[in-house]
Amino acid sequence: MDLRLNGKTALVTGASRGIGLATVRALTAEGVRVVAAARTPGPELTATGAVPITADLSDPAAADRLVAEAVAELGGLDILVNNVGGGDGGGGAAGFLDVTDQQWAELVDLNFFASVRVTRAALPALLSARGAIVNVSSVGARVPSGGPIAYTTAKAALTAFGKALAEEVGGRGVRVNTVSPGAVRTALWESPTGYGAELAAAAGVPQDAFLSALPGATGMLIDRLIDPVEVATLITYLASPLAAATTGTDHRIDGGGVKTA
């Protein structure tokens, strides 16, 4: 299917691995010129043909620099994918009383404020292009007990932010949508130092056995974790002109794990 994206421009954050890398690949395959931002761009990202930019979005000043460089490189901006985030490792499996103010601040900053800052910097260019924003949240926003408390709280804020922003800018031609994945085959679950490893250790089982049982334990109707490519495909569609009537929405891609409407 032709998504009518050929020649469009995009900025993708958190682009070096997982959903971000898969999204860069999906967009470039559609003919989109992509600036891909990551703290440590690697050879896989370079191989996509995107323009890699090193950016640590935990630095409040980085968003303005990144967007200015992206707009200069691309000559404008049609699409913003706010994928930057994370909650893997660093005590993510701790209970509420064990999460420090610093951990709260770091997780909320990375999973919420980083996207707010990038969006604020990019919005003038997106308004000029009548473009599209896709925010990558999590089903944890709908099921807050399904992940680290600071992470899921930050993702709930990101989901609400997308809904509110869609109302504000929809009449000016910019669409804003959210994608909320369930358990995806990313470092959060698969890294030996990530959240999945912490949960497996707490349960006293090997990590591979824990991950094999995870879909069934979380109520998913498929017997595997979600592939990043599947999430990237949804993001690419929502960014495309084929989704011109879709805005202000939150699309769960969770294998049927969330049972509410």
**Alpha-carbon gap, residue 243 to 110, rounded angstroms:** 28
Helices (H), the chain: 18-29, 43-46, 62-74, 101-108, 114-129, 149-169, 187-190, 195-203, 207-217, 228-239
Q: Are 35 and 50 in contact (CB under 8 A)?
A: yes
Q: Are 235 and 245 in contact (CB under 8 A)?
A: no
Residue 151 annotated to the active site? yes
Active-site pick, 36, 66, 119, 151: 151
175 forms beta bridges with 132
- What 3-state DSSP class applies to 83? coil
- The residue count of the chain comes to 261
Among all residues, which ones are annotated catalytic? 151
